[in-house]
Amino acid sequence: MQNAIALLKEHNLLRVIDEPLDIDLEIPHIAYIEVKKPDSRALLFTNPVSKRLDKKFSTPVLMNVFGSHKATNLFIGKDADDIAAEIEKLLKLKPPATLGEKFGMLAKLFSLKNIFPKRLSGRGACQEILHEGNSVDLYELPVLTTWSQDGGPFITMGQVYTQSLDGERKNLGMYRLQVYDKKRLGMHWQIHKDSANFFHEYKAAGKKMPVSIAIGGDPLYTWAATAPLPHGVFELLMYGFIKGESARLVKSVTNDLYVPEDADFVIEGFVDPGNTAIEGPFGDHTGYYTLEEEYPVLDVTAITHKKEPVYLATVVGKPPLEDKYMGWATERIFLPLLKTTAPDLIDYVMPENGVFHNLIIAKMKTLYPGHAKQFMHAFWGVGQMSFVKHAIFVNEDAPELEAYEDLTDYILDRVQVANIIISEGVCDALDHASNTYAYGGKLGVDCTADNVHFPQKEIIEEKDLLKLMQELDGNIKEIRQYKTYTKTPICVIAIDKQERIETVYEKLTAIKAHTKLLVFVDHDKNDLDNPYMLIWRVVNNIDAKRDIFLQKEFIGIDATNKGAIDNFPRRWPDDTDCDPDVIADLMRRGLLDVDDAFLKKFYI
């Protein structure tokens, strides 16, 4: 961490804040706003305090360490696309035909010896200070409370180390960890993750499961914890591959797990499979709160740390955030692995305001009718790609995937009902829109062919279209038209919902000559002039099987919040909104330098 801080300073990517600031809301709110700036920097808070605990901390808090493309490349150490190219070469290795090729392969394989973690004897720097027994106190760490409705303080950058019951398989993951008290943490293991699979092995055997959580050290450990590697592959292998040197590990003091010797903190303990507790709510990276659920509990047996540690944390909520940059690196590096399942894939992008799993746009080489639909099913069956809710496929002649304006025009000129597939499958456990926890609708749109031959819609003035709509339904308050020159003009409709949106959509078939794609949002929650946040809202709020309505060249999307009107069986969560009093106070103290327009732009 000290090296990381020095590197950030050297490249003018660090802002140091010496003013005493509260770990509850104040520090997270500053970091949340900073990372949304186009020139965002990492933040080092040197004087964290807790009014709730009446405590001052000697440990500084570092946030937004991956808060820009430049910082992410610095910590990865090379360009993400170059790493992807190395992986692709390995995947395409062929048996050598000549002596020269054999030596070349040996050199390549010899260079891979450093990908394997190296176990050291003795203690590491992470174990300079040891707290066991009665001296264990999680409240000695400056663990943040980010959102007003959070169930408590949460560790957000924990590297969670686990292993299978037989000790053969290792896993490094990143899961949020709720601090219940001095010695207990909530383990938010989502049901599809490797650690959850290990947990079921221990549960079946009636044994306690060892867990060690590292915080800090080389930032690449933290990124590796998020890497979507195939099931059973230890994530520290990716650390070694990128770094070109082995991760150096030491044994935990009170269990048999190995952790990076240069971590700043290590929290050790055991999970009793029979012991669960309510975890959450928690304002998560979707921009919504995830609700309370039962999760396993870690009983902490030891906390170790460096003599002068740094506490690493992140903040999650509405985009854009630090995960934008971490996810960008993941997206680039893992493209070759995705191509092994979908070999005609050219490239893909997961837009940040699509919150990653909620939207993917993929470019492919289309070889035959139905090829894109085949790809959709392939994506929905591959590892973490199986969580993707909405997938749009374009042909190789499409614009660059991040040229969003041109790409959108290309897509809208190729949308028709016949090219839409609605399926169902697993969803991310954080998804709130499906009727059933972690299972819901999937949307695939095949935009690979220019085969839309229907007449162009008869576009009329916005005020005239609004008048026509309000004559059909008086609860429509406002509309905006987008991309009216394309074959799929969009009309976003802000409504004060008094009945099911499908009923409103049916009423509006009378105006189908003037528009093609209706998108319904709540009037009191959305800015119709802010397409960035409208996309965020729409892909979060819909379940394709329930909320997409299809007639011939007339499509409706219900992106309103769901409730009793919709017979929605779950509790709909709130947005992650900053505390306005905290924001006002931070601005008064000169700790925030943004205006009201900025706060409105990102629904802060």
- Residues whose CB is less than 8 angstroms from the CB of residue 205 and which lie 6 or more positions away in sequence, other chains included: 165
CB-count exposure of residue 21 (10 Å: 0-12, 13-18, 19+): buried
Give the Cα separation of 397 and 598 in Å (integer).
36
Output the six-digit token pair for 371. Answer: 């090829």
Q: How many CB atoms lie within 10 A of CB 406?
A: 11
DSSP character at residue 572:
P
Give the Cα separation of 447 and 376 in Å (integer).
12
Q: Which residue in the block uniquely carries the two structure tokens 């499908």? A: 502
Q: Which residue in the block uniquely carries the two structure tokens 């802010």? A: 530
Q: Which of 284, 428, 543, 558 is catalytic?
A: 284
Q: How many CB atoms lie within 10 A of CB 454?
A: 11
Give the Cα separation of 279 and 170 in Å (integer).
25
Give the Cα separation of 160 and 174 in Å (integer).
6
Give the Cα separation of 448 and 394 in Å (integer).
4
- Are 459 and 511 spatial neighbours (Cβ–Cβ below 8 Å)? no
Residue 373 Cα distances to 408, 552, 553, angstroms: 20, 20, 20
Residue in 475, 435, 486, 602 with CA at minimum distance from that of residue 535:
602
Helix/strand/coil for 186: strand
Catalytic residue check, 596: no
By DSSP bridging, strand 61-63 and strand 311-313 are parallel
- Residues whose CB is less than 8 angstroms from the CB of residue 520 and which lie 6 or more positions away in sequence, other chains included: 493, 495, 497, 501, 504, 505, 556, 557, 558, 559, 560
Q: Residues with catalytic annotation?
A: 284
